[in-house]
Structure 1
Amino acid sequence: MPGHFWFRIDRMTPSDEFHQRSVHGRWRPPRPRLSNIIEAGHATTRLWFEHRNNSTSHINQPNLNALERYSTFSFYMNGGNIYVYPQDATLHTVGDGSGNQHRTHNNNASRSSTDSEGEGPQVEDWRSLSFNWHHGPTHRSSYATHRGEQTTLQCHRANQMWARQLIPNVYLAPPNRQPPAEMPLNCPLLGDLPIIIALIAFSVPPNQVHLYLANCFREQYHGHNVARGTGWTDRRGMVVSVFCQPGTRGALRQVECGQLGVFFP
């Protein structure tokens, strides 16, 4: 992947101070402010990386005074779904903040809400990973994002390593959109940088992210030898923040859109 940028991965977990939220009996990430916290006490609680000239290095914290924040997304994995929030959920109220009663409140509120997901046009809430599809003469690309119009990849081949290693079953294209390897149709994956980074990080155990990510994140995705689904543990969370030098935001946007090369061909 071209470009020069820095990124940080923070381990996140639901706070024990709040009852957990559920929708139709299924767990959902917390919404109230302070209900998502940094999972402290680990050597891998916070990881810094620098990507430059198609290679990535695990580094100490850079000089943030010389950088500007490009984007931050928060994530949870649960039940084979990836939930996405386009801000730092440890600092903000998510959606309307409902659905997680604080444990110190002396009332009979239910421990698990049955409220609906926030779908208002102006509400930024937890949403399942989604995609926007783009068509070309020789390609059918999928752009991974927070408010996409599609729930699955547009297409992918069985021989595309990134699809086998990084994409949970619920987001894979159905069999009729999985062209054979010999068919001259490209099915690349593009996406918001924090999402691309999180997909790789989720695919390995939390305490091994720093060991695998730098090797995977080069000019193109290089893959790893971790068994599919090993890192997809329920309620695993992370916050991914991308930083850049002033004046380079436009170049990073070109990277996300594949205009300077495709990371997941």
Structure 2
Amino acid sequence: MAVCGSLLALDEADPDKPSFYFTLQALTIHPGATPIYSAQRRWWPPKRLGENVASQHVLFHHDGETTERSDADMNELEHYKEFSVYHSHGVFWLYPGDASAEQVGDGRDGHGRLPPTNADANSDDDTEEDNPDWAMLNFELLPSRSSYASTNTRQRRLPLRRRHQLWPDQLLPDPHQAEAEAASYTSNPEHGGLNGELPVLLGLMAMALPQQHMFAMLPDCIANPWLVPHLPRGTGWQDKRGVIISVYYDQAETSEGDLRSYEEGQGGSILP
């Protein structure tokens, strides 16, 4: 069920991409969860333990070139990073952990109301660092003139892109798109790519696919270079749909430093 491909002739394979493993799970909201809204009536994902429900995970292995399902013993793999991802009304929400297995932030639903800023949620104690909260997808412009996707970055919108790139439109809803002004666009083919935290990028790719087919379709997208779904824009962006992505590595194949360099685009953008 191949749906991914590239429209750019310059997307050539890089022989030095690292190998890694990752698990994919669907994430849903418990029917008994109390909906949370900010003062601006923006929906916020559940924070209380048990209100986020995960499906059985599927393990994949990316060998630097292709991705396939794997039956590797996960006890022999090293954990790298994990993110839970929700989509709602054009915004991606991220949590750096498994929201189905642990409390998010202060773990309170506020009787359906949330303080006006993310920082206010833990302003009365020192638990914010130990218990991070949900945060919107953000971007930072790297010195290489590529963007870095994470939560601890500076702006909600993509800072830079090229006009004929496919991945920004297929992976990012309008609230995360680059501004229309000329400064947000470049004609330099070496600039305007996307890097970022690996589970975040994998989550964006999974969320661009139909939920019922994402386990079958995603491996075709994680290639060298990564490929973009050729589907109607927004196919996978159902309101309050979620995924959990956990990344692992085999010390015999890859180091943590290799994955960090990959995320930072030191060998070129993950999505050119």
**For the superposition of Structure 1 and Structure 2, which TM-score range results when normalised by the shorter chain?**
0.7 to 0.9
Cα contact 2:157–2:175 (8 A) shared by 1: yes
Tell me the residue number matched to 1:255.
Answer: 262
**In the alignment, which residue of structure 1 is the partner of 2:18?**
3
Whether the 8 Å contact between 1:12 and 1:38 is mirrored in structure 2 is yes
Q: Which runs of 5+ in 2 are unaligned?
A: 1-13, 123-127
Partner of 1:174: 179
**In structure 1, the residue corresponding to 2:26 is in which secondary structure?**
strand
**1:117–1:75 Cα change, 3 Å:** farther
The equivalences for 1:11-22 within 5 A come to 11-22=26-37
Cα shift at 1:180: 5.7
Q: Is the 8 A contact 1:99 1:115 kept in 2?
A: no
Residue 227 of structure 2 corresponds to residue 235 of structure 1: no
8 Å CA contact 1:21–1:29 kept in 2: the answer is yes
Please report the RMSD computed on the Cα atoms of aligned residues, expressed in angstroms.
1.9
Asked if residue 35 in structure 1 is aligned to residue 51 in structure 2, the reply is: yes
Please give the secondary structure, in 2, of the residue aligned with 1:209: helix
Deviations 1:120-150 (A, max 9, x none): 56351000001121234xxx21100011112
CA contact (8 A) 1:70 1:241 kept: yes
Tell me if 1:92 matches 2:110.
Answer: no
The one-letter code sitting in structure 2 at the alignment partner of 1:128 is: M
Aligned residue in 1 for 2:11: none
Following superposition, the deviation at residue 74 of structure 1 comes to 0.6
2:218 & 2:69 partners in 1: Cα distance?
Answer: 9
* CA distance, structure 2, for counterparts of residue 209 and residue 261 of structure 1: 26
How far residue 117 of structure 1 moved from its aligned partner, in angstroms, is: 4.0
Is 1:131 the equivalent of 2:146?
no
* Cα pair 2:28 2:52 within 8 Å, conserved: yes
Does structure 1 residue 71 correspond to structure 2 residue 71?
Answer: no
- Compute the displacement of 1:262 (Å): 2.0
The secondary structure found in structure 2 opposite 1:255 is helix
Structure 2: distance between partners of 1:173 and 1:210 = 29
TM superposition shift of 1:22: 1.3
Q: 1:184 to 1:87 in 2, by over 3 A?
A: closer
Q: CA deviation at 1:210?
A: 2.4
Percent of aligned positions that are identical: 30
Report deviation, 1:10: 0.7
Runs of 4+ in 1 over 4 A off after TM superposition: none
Q: Separation in 2 of the partners of 1:237 and 1:48?
A: 17
Give the whole-Å Cα distance in 2 for the aligned partners of 1:54 and 1:37: 32
Q: Report whether the alignment pairs 1:55 with 2:55.
A: no
Distance apart, 1:184 and its partner CA: 5.7
The aligned residue for residue 116 of structure 1 is 116
Work out whether residues 133 and 150 of structure 1, in 8 Å CA contact, stay in contact via their aligned partners in 2: no
Contact 1:158 1:164 in 2 (8 A): no
Bigger shift: 170-179 or 72-81? 170-179
| Shift, 1:185, TM fit | 5.9
Which residue identity lines up with residue 23 of structure 1 in the other structure? S
Report the Cα offset of residue 71 of structure 1. 0.6
2:202 corresponds to which residue? 197
Whether the 8 Å CA contact 2:208–2:229 is kept in 1: the answer is no
Give distance in 1, aligned partners of 2:230 and 2:190. 27
Q: Secondary structure at the residue paired with 1:76?
A: strand
Instruction: Mark the runs of 5 or more structure 1 residues left unpaired by the alignment.
Output: 40-44, 101-109
